[in-house]
Amino acid sequence: MKLRALVPLAAAVLSLPLNPRADEGMWLYNNPPRQQLKEKYGFDLTDAWLEHLQKSSVRFNSGGSGSFVSEDGLAISNHHVGADALQKVGSKEKNYLRDGFYAKTAAEELPCVDLELNVLQSIEDVTARVNAGVPAEATPEEASKARRKVTSEIEKESLEKTGLRSNVITLYQGGAYHLYRFKRYTDVRLVFAPEQQIAFYGGDPDNFEFPRFDLDICLFRVYEDGKPIKVKDYLKWSKAGAADGELTFVSGHPGRTDRLLTTAEMEYLRDVQFPYTLSRLRRLDSLLTAWSGRSEENARRAREDFFGVQNSRKAREGGIAGLQDPVFMGKKAAAEQTFRTRLAVNGEFAEAAAAYDKIAAAQAVIKQHALRYRLIEGEHGFGSESFAIARTLLRAGEERPKPNGERLKEFTDSEKLSLELGLFSDKPIYEDYETLRLADSLAFLTEQLGFADPVVQQVLAGKSPRERAAELIRTTKVRDVAFRKKLYEGGAAAVEAAKDPLIELARLVDGEARELRKTMEAQDEVKQQAQAAIARARFKLEGTGKYPDATFTLRLSYGPVSGYEEDGVKVPALTTLAGLYQRSADMKNQPPFDLPARWVKKKDALNLNTPFNFVSTADIIGGNSGSPVVNRAGEFVGIIFDGNLQSLVLDFAYDDVQARALSVHSSAIIEALSKVYGVKDIVHELQTGKKKG
């Protein structure tokens, strides 16, 4: 990524009008853009088409999306979404993340560690019940507790009634609450992954760039009761794939956008949150670069974390460039003031008119506590798998005896199975890597709060960050799954009796951590109520036909396959396999532009005119990785794997002039699987929708 070019590009994008464009939107499945699609593209979005795509779409708990592509439970996502699973089932001797994997038989399909897939079954509007559960005169803290209680009740009732994972999702920053029910799968097995070098071809230099040449795919099979599931709703494979100018649809789980935030909230992101986050990410980048450079095994252990840090850093650099653009922020402020003026002249909207000042006041309180909150409750000062486990054990002992509606959200009945899946995971946790991470986090805590801070002094206990981290990681037992199960089942008494040093460290800071969380949740409640008032006013003035910010729940986006112009040069919508080999030659086949050996060997067998990657105007964000791209017939034509440089501002505003969603073309997947990897059985299953034999 060329950072020097980022600011003017962001300025160009964000200086565009804030009014919605025709192809804008991460749409709710229960409020889809039927009219827009009919008017612009002549496409009738039917209930049957939507339901089929909805139930073919999959959410990965590791932070991405995917889809079913055969009746025998075969699911496809990105290599970088599957990387977490690849890392956990790999070892020093079997580096699946780097070298790839292929299960020739069902018996060879590798069970994934603590991987959970969710498929959305239904959505129910529970806004009235949630709001009715919050007393009108309650303090922010009381209101936050009441809202947590009523949402927990709704989730528990739904879980007991349906057996489905049930989550109340906050939409429009508090303007609506919907109950999402998911079918949950936890027996997921790895079927195929290419080498990371072709999945992430071009590495960090090409990240967020286009043209691209990535085979960013990973295939899994979902089991239930020891057998592959039979899937009614799966995506049929397109014979031709996506064509330039063709209307396409994206069904995935965008993580988070901030398009409905007020000016005060966006200024906080610009001035406080993003600078802090970038500082921390750059620190981690430096740490993991040095650690990975010491040995190949170090690099393997840190690879997934390293990729996440680098990816997040670039994304935040793109986001802050937009927030620092005075043209965009000026337009945001002007649009907000115009709307506030409309509210002020109508007494019916007095509550909404006053809401902006309430949000600004709450944001000021959040700013006052943000640093300590992130370091202590957010665990940035204790960053390690071991500490996270220790805190979970400590809090589980305290929270589980409480009534469901009074627990911290992560310990409610609706979250129990997912919590236990992660807590009892037997994924590898390496002592040396844990020591490295915890030592650096303790040093960061010390730098941020100051050496004399009472918490710092208590945490370090008279030792240096490195000495303290080494002692804690060496003596804790929380990396032992049997130990974790014993304490979890034994409750608070067993946890206290264990006197585990890392759990005791978690206990040491837990009082302040909980108070900080309580403060933040109270201010979030203030903002939520204020945003709800604004949303109600906006619904009355402008209607309800708009989409909410992303929430890592299933959304529908759409847009044509379309190139763009950059610096006066037209960028075509599609790349080809020939372009991959040309890119390698231009860069003298040097890392990270070197080709895996089998790709060099099989070049002559390939149809080099096969489309490889393509771009579209679909509205996406982080979390959409692995989302299926389908055509009008609902056929699989590609898979989202990235956005271009100009798309980094889509967190705050949509643009279709240069911002693009990047996908792997379905034809390239078939060409590579059949002619480079020779996995004919997988090709047969993708093309027919049925497992061979």
| pTM for this model (two decimals) | 0.93
The rounded distance, in Å, linking the Cα atoms of 199 and 63 is 17
* 18 has pLDDT over 50: no
- Whether a cis peptide bond, with omega within 30° of 0, leads into 211 is yes
Residues 6+ apart with CB under 8 A from 604: none
Q: Is 3-116+186-259+548-688 a CATH 2.40.10.120 domain?
A: yes
- Per-position b or e across 382-403, b if 16+ CB within 10 A of its CB: bbbbbbbbbbbbbbbbbbbeee
* pLDDT tens column, 49-83: 999 999 999 999 999 999 999 999 999 999 999 99
Mean pLDDT across the stretch 414-423? Answer: 97
Res 21: pLDDT: 53
pLDDT band of 693, cuts 50, 70, 90:
confident
Secondary structure, 3-state, 194-236: CCHHHHCCCHHHHCCCCCCCCCCCEEEEEEECCEECCCCCCCC
Angle between helices 666-675 and 680-688 (to 10 degrees): 150
* pLDDT tens column, 328-383: 999 999 999 999 999 999 999 999 999 999 999 999 999 999 999 999 999 999 99
Residues 6+ apart with CB under 8 A from 560: 23, 245, 246, 247, 248, 616, 617
The rounded distance, in Å, linking the Cα atoms of 68 and 615 is 22
* pLDDT tens column, 469-480: 999 999 999 999
Res 22: pLDDT: 64
Nearest partner of 201 among 187, 216, 179, judged by Cα: 216
The rounded distance, in Å, linking the Cα atoms of 16 and 13 is 6
The rounded distance, in Å, linking the Cα atoms of 468 and 459 is 8
Mean pLDDT across the stretch 216-245? Answer: 98
Mean of pLDDT over the chain: 95
Answer whether 75's CB lies under 8 Å from 58's CB.
yes
Strand partners, 192: 102, 219
* pLDDT tens column, 105-115: 999 999 999 99
Res 3: pLDDT: 30
- The residue with greater pLDDT, 12 or 20, is 20
Strand partners, 639: 628, 664
The rounded distance, in Å, linking the Cα atoms of 158 and 150 is 12
* pLDDT tens column, 21-39: 569 999 999 999 999 999 9
